[in-house]
Amino acid sequence: MPQVKIYNLEGAEVGVLDLDEKVFSETAKPELIYQVVRVMQARARQVLAHTKDRSQVRGGGKKPWKQKGTGRARHGSIRSPIWRGGGVTFGPTKERNFKLTIPRKMVKKALRALLAEKAADNRLIVCDSLSLEKPSTKKMIFFFSQLGLSSKKVLFLSDKGLENAILSVGNLRKITALRLENLNVLDLLSHHSVLLARSSVEKLTKQLS
């Protein structure tokens, strides 16, 4: 059964917590992780480039000059794609859809595998209690320094009742506070360690089961 150390806010080890094997012993192929990341990045993609074709560009209702007799090439509209200021042929439009879908079971499997990897590498940090009477950035800085995480990117999985802890890490550049229910593969991959309260482990286990 996988285990993880429990620390207090002074950075001292106060016990060991047994983790659910169904969640924290999961393994997954790199191809699955890649697939989940690809879908998440596609969903986050913003379609900004947008061009107008000749039917959408303003003006051009009048024929520039008569069909014959001028010596110039014949034209029917100044909004033709060959005219400066005219429409664009086959240009990008904001109607493009890059979103992809993936089964929820695959996403959960990837999350379990990444959490299991962090737990095996001692990068899953469980704190006995993160309920602070008032926000204290100084206390959180001391906690991370005691665990040797001052220079590491840490993902803090917050929960209800931990508002003061969230405020305490708000000014720490390398610490990211994320609600437990919003846990995702991209954030797990981009952070060295994961921090959560002991009371949140059971909720996380139930969420990923």
Query: Could you tell me the domains of the chain?
Result: 3-45+103-208 (3.40.1370.10), 46-97 (no CATH)
Token reading at 127: 């704190």
Task: Identify whether the C-beta of residue 165 lies closer than 8 Å to the C-beta of residue 132.
Answer: yes
Model confidence pLDDT, tens digit, residues 130-186: 888 899 999 999 999 999 999 999 999 998 888 999 999 999 999 999 999 999 999
The dihedral sign for the CA sequence 178, 195, 37, 26: negative
User: What is the per-residue pLDDT for 178?
Assistant: 94
